[in-house]
């Protein structure tokens, strides 16, 4: 028996085809599972956090401290983003983030934090925000450090 005859018999063996088919199905299921269960993007994670705090939140009085733009970090050609041309995503520059810094007090504890309001420009009139301006803050009663100043369907800015 020659080597080609052994190979021909091997190629016609149904066990080989069943194994190959099972391997293809397994790989397809792994790809589908990873695609369906991918972690949320940072923007989606922030949107879900805002929705949660808006749903369970209590309102406290606070004050706007500052309004600032935060530029994405420059990797200087290093790291994962550096491999693709610095602070770029898909060939386009990553936009700066609009942050509102604010403070509020709960049970004698003062919290100072910031919220990324990028994408909520329709709810925030940034040209009218001034430091010291009063605002309503929604916070999670089970974790008072988790708070929002603006949500998709709520705004604490006066």
| 72 and 10 in a common domain | no
Domain range enclosing 29: 3-36
| 11 and 51 in a common domain | no
| 23 and 65 in a common domain | no
Sign of the C-alpha dihedral, residues 120, 124, 127, 129? negative
User: What pLDDT score does 29 carry?
Assistant: 93
Tallying the residues shown for the chain, one arrives at: 158
Q: What's the CA gap between 27 and 32, in Å, rounded?
A: 9
| 57 and 15 in a common domain | no
| 85 and 105 in a common domain | yes
On the question of pLDDT at 79 being above 60, the answer is no
Which of 80-105 are b and which e, b meaning 16 or more Cβ less than 10 Å from the residue's Cβ? ebeeeebeeeeeeeeeeebbbbbebe
User: What pLDDT score does 83 carry?
Assistant: 45
29 phi/psi in degrees, rounded to 5: -65, -40
| 80 and 103 in a common domain | yes
Number of domains within the chain: 2
Closest residue by Cα to residue 135 from 87, 102, 94, 86: 102
What digits encode the pLDDT tens for the residues 33-77?
888 888 888 889 999 999 999 999 999 999 999 998 888 776 555
What is the residue whose two structure tokens read 């391997």?
23
Q: How far is CA 70 from the centre of its chain?
A: 16
| 128 and 68 in a common domain | yes
Q: Which helix (H) or strand (E) holds 102?
A: strand 97-106
User: What pLDDT score does 75 carry?
Assistant: 53
Q: What's the CA gap between 58 and 143, in Å, rounded?
A: 11
Closest residue by Cα to residue 16 from 5, 26, 4, 8: 8
| 31 and 54 in a common domain | no
| 136 and 61 in a common domain | yes
What digits encode the pLDDT tens for the residues 81-115?
444 444 455 556 677 888 999 999 999 999 999 99
Closest residue by Cα to residue 105 from 147, 153, 155: 147
| 141 and 103 in a common domain | yes
Integer-rounded Cα Rg, in Å, for the chain is 27
pTM of the shown model: 0.67
């Amino acid at each position: 028996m020659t080597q080609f005859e052994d190979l021909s018999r091997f190629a016609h063996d149904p066990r080989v085809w069943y194994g190959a088919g099972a391997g293809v199905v397994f790989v397809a299921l792994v790809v589908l599972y990873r695609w369906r269960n991918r972690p949320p993007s940072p923007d989606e994670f922030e949107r879900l956090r805002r929705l949660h705090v808006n749903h369970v939140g209590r309102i406290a009085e606070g004050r706007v401290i500052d309004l600032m733009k935060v530029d994405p970090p420059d990797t200087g050609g290093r790291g994962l983003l550096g491999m693709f041309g610095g602070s770029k995503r898909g060939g386009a520059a990553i936009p700066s983030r609009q942050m509102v810094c604010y403070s509020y007090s709960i049970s004698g504890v003062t919290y100072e934090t910031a919220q990324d309001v990028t994408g909520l420009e329709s709810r925030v009139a940034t040209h009218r925000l001034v430091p010291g301006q009063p605002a309503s803050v929604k916070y999670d009663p089970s974790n008072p450090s988790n708070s929002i100043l603006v949500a998709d369907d709520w705004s604490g800015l006066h």
